[in-house]
A and B are shown apart, each in its own frame.
Chain A
């Protein structure tokens, strides 16, 4: 092989550069998202239960919210009947944030981890801002 020295050195440098992110994070603990349920309202609940099961909410909250938005905005339906038969007002502000008043420790945990930026907050008022405004 001609120029084997140069080629092999080049290859080693190339592989090293490509795998740099792996070398960089070696030995570092992978911080898993840990959505916190530590809010005053949730702490007062005897049975900690969201409007649907935990797994359903993890998997489908975005589709559920989409369905809510269309029902409220377009069909003037404001009440959600959960699979357990309970009634909830379909509202981010009145229902979701009532319990989950910790956007940074709850919503952002997973959203930052998977690097998505939902634009809910451009219009909907963050629960943190509510506190800042003295509500």
Chain B
């Protein structure tokens, strides 16, 4: 066939224009099924109608979950431990006594939690106080912005969630998080879990994990485990709802947040 460069470019140009045009008008898409997801197509091909998935009717519904931690009520070491231990237990969090430890909820001295609040002449009680730390479930989470695979994302109830299936372990999110709330699994965590709870998956080597406000419990209509265990020292609720418990306690008490100047809008509030 005799075809020169000019003719070739013409043919290519016209065909691509036609193809692009048909994409917009839906011409070809109905033939090739562009836009159909594979699984739905397979379901339909197999002769099954596509079944539905629904949220649990008992699930708690909110726009942006938040927690207010009343540090005045944390007095004995046991007050801290009961919140931390319940989380470690139900989420199969490994206990590794090195820098590779995995933490969802943990305690730090006040100075470390709020370095910018530090002064040499601080009230003694507060100076020596430990603070409960966890993921701040930011309204504008930097970890979500930097995740290259969409493994970490913001749910529509405001929870910054991890899809461990998608995590490739690049640790950009750990670099992005200003609160140190994320931990990497440098090794298989299973040997470091005291007793594996079969109702919750463990994580695997090479993924990042963090607190997710007990998303699995909220979806069943339960409060986060630490809030439940704290017996009122932690108050959970929808920060966008003016009548929620968390808003009530925040409007009546002076509260601070970690690194608010960064503009991430953290949703863990501390009443000191």
Contact = CB atoms under 8 A, between A and B. Distances in A.
Interface in A77-135: 77-83, 87, 90, 93-94, 119, 122-125, 127, 129-130, 133, 135
Contact of B198 (A55, A71, A133): A133
B201 to A, nearest CB: 4
Nearest to B196: A125
Given A78-B56, A79-B53, A83-B51, A63 B39 contact: yes
B204 A122 contact: yes
Contacts of A123: 164, 201-204
B78 interface: no
B55 A74 contact: no
Nearest to B49: A83
B10 interface: no
A110 B176 CA distance: 43
Contacts of B215: 76
Interface string A11-53: 0000000000000000000000000000000000000000010
Interface stretch (B106-114, B124-132, B153-161, B247-255): B153-161
B59 interface: yes
Contacts of B51: 52, 80-83
A76 B197 CA distance: 22
B198 A130 contact: yes
A67 B39 contact: yes
Interface of A: 52, 55-56, 59-60, 63-64, 66-69, 71-83, 87, 90, 93-94, 119, 122-125, 127, 129-130, 133, 135
Interface residues on B, range: 35 or more
Q: Kindly name the residue among B48, B51, B155, B196 whose own CB sees the greatest number of chain A CB atoms within 10 A.
A: B51
A79 B54 contact: yes
A69 to B, nearest CB: 6
Contacts of B165: 69, 73
Nearest to B212: A73
B157 A94 contact: no
Contacts of A77: 53-55
B42 A63 contact: yes
A60 B164 contact: no
Contacts of A59: 42, 46
Nearest to A53: B48
Contacts of B49: 83
Contact of A60 (B43, B156, B218): B43
19 contacts: A63-B38, A64-B39, A69-B165, A74-B163, A75-B55, A77-B54, A78-B219, A80-B51, A82-B51, A83-B48, A83-B49, A122-B204, A122-B205, A123-B203, A123-B204, A125-B198, A125-B202, A129-B196, A135-B198
Contacts of B201: 93, 123-125
Given A123-B201, A123-B202, 18 more contacts: A52-B51, A60-B48, A63-B38, A69-B165, A76-B156, A76-B157, A76-B218, A78-B54, A79-B54, A79-B55, A80-B51, A82-B51, A83-B49, A93-B200, A123-B164, A123-B204, A130-B198, A133-B198
